[in-house]
Amino acid sequence: MKKLLIFAVLGISSVLAGCQSTRVDAIQANEVPVERMYWESVRDKNRGDSQIIVKRDAGVIYSACVSNLFFQGVRIAELWPGEKVTLYVPRGEYILGEFLSGGACFPFLKTLVVNVKPNSINVFRIKTTFMGANGGETLIRDSDTSME
C-alpha cells in the first residue's frame, strides 16, 4: 500500500511538473511579429536610449490564451508563449499592463509601475502558473542577465 501511495504521488507530481511554464531568456525569446503590434512607434530605436523588454514564459500553461500587453494604458501587442516585445523609451516612469484573453482564460488586468533609468535595459516576465494568483499569471521584473 505504501509503494502504491508513493507511486501515485510521484505520478501526479510529474504530470503537474510537466504543466509548468518555463522561463525564457530575453535573448532566446522570439520578437512579436509586426502584425500583432498595435503601436509600432515604441519599437523605434530613435525613441529613447533605454529598453523595456517584456517576455512571456514558454510552456503549455495558458498556451491557448494570448497575453495582451499595455504600455501607458494603450494596448501595444499580443504575446504568445516564448515571445517578447522590445520597447525603446527615454528615462522616466511608465505603467505596463497585461491580461490574458481567449479560451478559458481569466482576464484579470495586472499592472506594474516601471522606473526606467537612462541607458538601461529593463526586463519583465509574464510568468504563467497553473494555479497562480490573479488567474494564473503575474507580471514581474525579471533578473534576466542574458541582455547585459
pLDDT at site 100: 82
pLDDT in tens, 15-69: 444 456 788 888 999 999 999 998 877 777 788 899 999 999 998 776 778 889 9
State the average pLDDT for the chain: 80
Q: Where are the domains of the chain?
A: 2-141
Residue 146 has pLDDT above 60, yes or no: no
Q: How far apart are CA 143 and CA 25, in angstroms?
A: 10
- Backbone φ/ψ region at 113: left (φ over 0), alpha (ψ -120 to 50), beta: beta
Residue 2 has pLDDT above 80, yes or no: no
pLDDT at site 1: 63
